[in-house]
Structure 1
Amino acid sequence: MAEETPPVDEMHYDALAQDALRGVIRLALERAALPEGIPGEHHFYITFKTRAAGVSVPPDVMAKYPVEMTIVLQHQYWDLTVEPTGFSVMLKFGGMPKVLSMPYTAVTRFYDPSVQFLLQFEEPDIPEEPIEELPAPKPVAVSQRKDGDDQDGPKVVSLDQFRKK
């Protein structure tokens, strides 16, 4: 018998399902952004990759959570702004207000423990940190200068005046 190759999912249903489930996060956050806030005992644990594309986290918070971070939206959050592709929120860290913003694609977990509701997502592609290489030294063109030249180039000293004749 001839082996048949499995069909190729050209619709990318896994990615479509992930995007649809991220829509659940957006809708839950839209409700949380209403003046009444999050209803009842609901509260959200949102885990995201701090270095994913589009994430904005203050540098001191990034230093403390360089890879991943979980935030809790329950009683103390401010200025929750929900957009079609992401959200931003103000939280306090050490008593200081800080604004975090992220696209939904950076979220890896969304959990509401009050009803044991969990969404887990594939981790986003994180670009590797660029490795800073020292540039190769540039060759310096040495030119003859006369005393009194006021050019800003390298200073060239003629050793002829110091040689014994």
Structure 2
Amino acid sequence: MTSSIDYGNLMHRAMRSLIQNVLTDVAKDGLPGENHFFITFDTMHPDVEIADWLSDRYPGEMTVVIQHWFDNLEVTDEGFGITLNFGDSPERLYIPYDAIRTFVDPSVEFGLRFESPQTEEDDIDTDILEIAEAPMDEMVEPSPEPEKRQEAEVVSLDKFRK
């Protein structure tokens, strides 16, 4: 038995479960209203599955936008698979929840950031979770009206970080 409750790990799992529930609803019913997601993930995570040219182009992290065009969203307990369009070339991606660094829905000013585990010297062995509190409308430009088929966007969230 442990000497304390691991609240950090419990919160980490709860927020990953929240993402799973949201994506499950989207897979079933589609995106409601103006909702859309920016999902940044670790491209070097051992269970991430992306095309070689994408991992070469984004060797550390990549942000995908799930908004106008996506296909075959399949959600599991470990992660999700989705087909996105990159320059008129559909690509299948598989992203485990443990690889996600940020999950943002700017339409409702909601965001999660999962920070990497600290080094052993910091005596922290769980991920730290922060809920973004900056107004999302200041961070993201509104997107144009949806077209029949748009290209997937890869954006860098570095300019939004403090």
Q: Do these two structures clear the TM 0.5 threshold for a shared fold by scoring above it?
A: yes
The yes-or-no answer on 1:31 pairing with 2:40 is no
C-alpha spacing 1:77/1:13, structure 2 compared with 1 (3 Å):
same
**5+ residue gaps, structure 2:** 119-162
* Max Rg structure: 1
Q: TM-score w.r.t. structure 2 length?
A: 0.68
Aligned with 2:7 (options 2, 13, 32): 13
**In structure 1, distance between residues paired with 2:78 and 2:68:** 24
SS in 2 for 1:54: coil
TM-score (norm: length of structure 1)? 0.67
Structure of greater relative contact order (alpha carbons < 8 Å, 6+ residues apart) = 2
Q: Partner amino acid for 2:114? A: F
Q: Offset at 1:85? A: 1.1
Distance 1:87 1:10 in 2: 32
Matching residue of 2:41: 48
What residue identity is the alignment partner of 1:98? E
C-alpha contact (below 8 Å) 1:88/1:100 kept by paired residues: yes
Provide runs of 4+ in structure 1 moved above 6 Å. none
> Cα RMSD between the aligned structures?
1.6
- Gaps (5+ residues) in structure 1? 1-7, 126-165
Alignment of 1:12-161 (within 5 A): 12-34=6-28, 36-123=29-116
Offset at residue 124 of structure 1 (A)? 6.1
**How many residues matched?**
117
